Amino acid sequence: MIAVLSCLVIILLICNVFQYQTKKARNKDLIYITNKLEQITRSHSKEQILVVSENKQLINLLIQLNQLIDENKENSRQFVKMEASMKRMLANISHDLKTPLTVIAGYIEILQNQPYINDQERTRLLQKVHTKSLELITLMNTFFDLAKLESGDKEVPLEKVNLTEICKNNILLFYEWIQTKGLEVVIEIPEKAIFALGNEEALNRVLNNLISNAIRYGADGKMIGLKVFCDETHVYVEISDKGKGLNETEQESVFERMFTLEESRNKAFQGSGLGLTITKRLIEEMEGNISVQSKSFEKTSFTFSLKRLKG
């Protein structure tokens, strides 16, 4: 009997020692994790918390903590990127508003200070004021449209649309401008109608933005292309040119708010920098995707896809 009790006491002692050692090791790990987490939080480090342990609960805790750390890193990266984008956006808006306002003020000053100006010159100056005023209105409307899209206030109802017909109609609208620029036009649109899930008004705006950009920025390549093709599930529209194109950094940023090429600050390349951002948002509202590929003076193409619907 005494031997049995002695064995039980020894077993209990061993269990207590084991539990104590386990608890001590766990507490040590928890202290390390706490200190490491504080260090990562303070220094905004990219480290992860690494602990060798056989405790499944502790391992699960570490997995969750490291996932939170990764998410926090990504959120911080996105915040920095968004902040830089907003600063650039405000600077560009300020520039784009200031330029026509300065011109308008200059013309008005001429009209005020030269009361004996002839009627022909007065009409010319007033026409300039009117043109610049329309530019301002267009810019503000564009910015307002983007704000509505990003806030979800602008509805883009989806329906079955004849994408081939919409593409044909839009390229025809640019016929005179293309002729004036002396560009070769390469059109590949199937004779048979191809239908997609979309919105005709939104598609008209998307195509207007992409085609006008191809003409404006790719004119030195002397070619503009419009291609429509499809597979079993999607319809694709590609607008291309052979101009200077975009480098890798520009390709990554081209759909961001207020992105503009350096050249867009001179008269030959004017633009608010909002067009492609709105284009991307509209494509997303139509449950589609858009991408860009560019090789200088060989081919720059913007391609968007929409869900295909049977005719």
Write the DSSP string, 84-120.
Answer: HHHHHHHHHHHHHHHHHHHHHHHHHHHHHH-TT--HH
DSSP letter for 244, please.
S
pLDDT of residue 174: 92
- Residue at token pair 């899209």: 149
Give the helix ranges, DSSP H, for the chain: 2-43, 56-113, 119-151, 163-173, 175-181, 200-218, 248-253, 275-285
Q: Can you list the pairs that 256-259 forms with residues at least 24 positions away whose Cβ atoms lie under 8 Å?
A: 256/85, 257/85, 257/86, 257/88, 257/89, 257/146, 258/85, 258/88, 258/89, 258/92, 258/93, 259/88
Is residue 216 classed exposed, middle or buried when 0-12, 13-18 and 19+ CB atoms within 10 A define those classes?
A: middle
- Residue at token pair 């007033």: 126
Structure tokens at 257: 């708010």
Coil, strand, or helix at residue 286? coil
Coil, strand, or helix at residue 216? helix
Mean pLDDT of 80-84: 76
Per-residue model confidence as pLDDT tens digits over 161-216: 999 999 999 999 999 999 989 999 999 999 999 999 999 999 999 999 899 989 98
Residue 252 to residue 292: CA distance in whole angstroms: 9
Structure tokens at 164: 């081939």
Mean pLDDT of 77-82: 79
pTM of the model: 0.63
Give the phi and the psi of residue 293 in degrees, each rounded to 5.
-135, 140
Sketch out the chain's domains with CATH numbers: 77-151 (1.10.287.130), 159-309 (3.30.565.10)
Per-residue model confidence as pLDDT tens digits over 132-167: 888 788 777 777 777 777 777 778 899 999 999 999
| Average per-residue pLDDT for the chain | 80
Per-residue model confidence as pLDDT tens digits over 113-123: 887 888 888 88
Helix axes 56-113, 119-151, angle to 10 degrees: 170
